[in-house]
Amino acid sequence: MASLKQLCKKPELFSKGHRACAGCGESLAVRQVLLAADQPIVTVMPTGCLEIFSSIYPHSAWQVPMIHTAFETSASTASGVETAYRFHKKMGRMKEDVKFIAFGGDGGTYDIGFQALSGAVERRHKFLYVCTDNEGYMNTGIQRSSATPMGAHTTTSPAGTKIPGKKQHRKDIMEIMIAHDLAYAGQTTVALWNDLVTKVQKALAADGPTFLNVLVPCPLGWQYPGDRTIEVSRLAADTCFWPVYEFDNGRYKINHLPKEKLAVEEFLKPQGRFRHLFTHPEGKDVIAEIQRHIDAKWALLQKKAEVLG
């Protein structure tokens, strides 16, 4: 558990002045993740929004070492950096204990960088991979990814007169990563800053590779006013659209139990990307299917927490 008082005293490792959109969830997540770490950290990021808004030469928002190579290479580049560190340690050339954090959006994590992530984790490189999931390829102008939820309008799954947005459900990246026998994996969202900070600290303390999936609302791609990021983030958790839980050494634990599990419409309504679902002839059915999917996943998660808690 972190206290705001303590966090406020820590130096900002992700500085102000970067070029993210107002209300960007991803920049909040990165700042919180870096604030959570107590040890020296070295970071990696892929090509994407984060890289563009934080590292346009000659400016940098990073107060810690950072390397960016390509879009699909956050985990594979981190493999090399972490291996180099082990070499230096082995040869007595480096004394400090360093933690490694690799970032990736949902594109770089679920899709184009998935192979590199799976490989790096299988090889047990000791690093924390943080997926800042905004449910689409936002940097290229809001295209669908395999993290885009059913029904969402993106520029490659548009809300057409015939087809109302994305036809498929999202990929369950948490379960896929847990299947890699991780010591720790957690899912959370930026509204729950304390949960996020705690998860980062647990992940960095765990042995071996660890994974965090952080829902980061995107005002531009999700089409809501930039001052509602935290509210939308909280609605994702309170509707159980985005279950907040962790997998800690084989034990599932739900970390955020909504006082009252809200209907998914509460999450969908504030967002322009779901607007068509309330007018399209098939919209009702799509919303019903989204709700069914959420309920089924939530019930399964509760069961896991009960049996494997």
Partner 1 sequence: MILAKTGNEAMAYAMKQINPDVVAAYPITPSTEIVQIFSNYVHDGLVDTEFVAVESEHSAMAACIGSAASGCRTMTATASQGLALMHEMLFIAGGLRLPIVVPIASRSLSSPLNIHADHSDSLASRDSGWMQFFCETVEEGYDSLIMAVKMAEKCSLPAIVSIDGFILSHCMERIEALDEQKVRDWLGPYKPNWNLLDLDRPILVGPATLQDYYYEFKRSQIEGMRTALPKVQEVMADFEKTFGRGYGVLEEYRCEDAEAVALLMGSASGDMRQAVDRLREQGGKVGMVKLRVFRPLPHELLRKTLTRFKTVAVLDRADSVNSFVGPLYNEVAASLYGAENQPELLSYVFGLGGKEFSPDDAARILEGALAGRKDETVTYVGVR
Q: Provide, rounded to whole angstroms, the least separation between the CB of residue 109 and partner 1.
A: 15
Ranges of beta strands (E only) in 85-127 are 99-105
User: Between 69 and 143, whose beta carbon lies closer to partner 1?
Assistant: 69
Regarding 39 and contact with partner 1 (CB under 8 A), the answer is no
Regarding 94 and contact with partner 1 (CB under 8 A), the answer is yes
- As a whole number of Å, the end-to-end CA separation of the chain is 20
Strand partners, 172: none
Regarding 10 and contact with partner 1 (CB under 8 A), the answer is no
Burial level of 291, CB count in 10 A (0-12/13-18/19+)? middle
Judge contact between 58 and 116, C-beta under 8 A: no
Q: Provide, rounded to whole angstroms, the least separation between the CB of residue 110 and partner 1.
A: 17
Residues 95-124 that bind partner 1 (CB under 8 A): 96, 98, 115-116, 118-120, 122-123
Q: Provide, rounded to whole angstroms, the least separation between the CB of residue 44 and partner 1.
A: 7
- Token pair, residue 275, equals 């607007």
- Applying CB under 8 A, among 18, 24, 37, 72 the residue interacting with partner 1 is 72
Q: Provide, rounded to whole angstroms, the least separation between the CB of residue 236 and partner 1.
A: 30
User: Between 130 and 191, whose beta carbon lies closer to partner 1?
Assistant: 130
Q: Provide, rounded to whole angstroms, the least separation between the CB of residue 36 and partner 1.
A: 18
User: Between 43 and 132, whose beta carbon lies closer to partner 1?
Assistant: 43
Regarding 26 and contact with partner 1 (CB under 8 A), the answer is no
Judge contact between 13 and 34, C-beta under 8 A: yes
Assign 53 to helix, strand or coil. Answer: helix
Q: Provide, rounded to whole angstroms, the least separation between the CB of residue 131 and partner 1.
A: 18
The answer for 151, left when phi > 0, alpha when psi is -120 to 50, beta otherwise, is left
User: Between 90 and 162, whose beta carbon lies closer to partner 1?
Assistant: 90
Distance CA 135, CA 245 (A): 18
Provide CB contacts within 8 A for 82, sequence distance 6+: 100, 125, 126, 127
Residues near partner 1, by CB under 8 A = 40, 42, 44, 51-52, 55-58, 60, 62-70, 72-73, 76-88, 90-91, 94, 96, 98, 115-116, 118-120, 122-123
